[in-house]
Amino acid sequence: MAELDGVFHALANGARREMLGRLADGDLTVGELAEPLAMTLAAASKHIKVLERVGLVRQSIQGRRHVCRLLPMPLAPAADWLHHYQGHWENRLGALEGLFDNHDLHEREQ
């Protein structure tokens, strides 16, 4: 469970989620990850370290470039955990939809 906690901790930050989303399209340098977020390289590096600690990112050095790559496997247990609750929310949303449908029917009858 500690690994799952680490993944959710890493995903709790919007900047890190943005980084992961962009890495899903391909490898990027630290500078490329930092630029659209308007953060310094030092701040981006701290976020990347959090992602590395939970195994979501691997950083390699190519010359003077620090290149980051997404490693999606640690997301699988998080997705499984969330999937467990999907049926619950689908049932609740279905019930809510039924209430709206009944309300609309009642209004049309009046």
* pLDDT of the chain, 110 residues: tens digit per residue: 579 999 999 999 999 999 999 999 999 999 999 999 999 999 999 999 999 999 999 999 999 999 999 999 999 999 998 888 877 776 666 666 766 666 665 566 66
- The reported pLDDT for the residue numbered 16 is 98
Domains belonging to the chain, first-starting first, are 2-70 (1.10.10.10)
- The reported pLDDT for the residue numbered 83 is 87
- The reported pLDDT for the residue numbered 94 is 61
- The reported pLDDT for the residue numbered 105 is 58
- The reported pLDDT for the residue numbered 59 is 96
What is the chain written as a DSSP string?
Answer: -HHHHHHHHHHTSHHHHHHHHHHTTS-EEHHHHHGGGT--HHHHHHHHHHHHHTTSEEEEEETTEEEEEE--TTHHHHHHHHHHHHHHHHHHHHHHHHHHHHHHHHHHH-
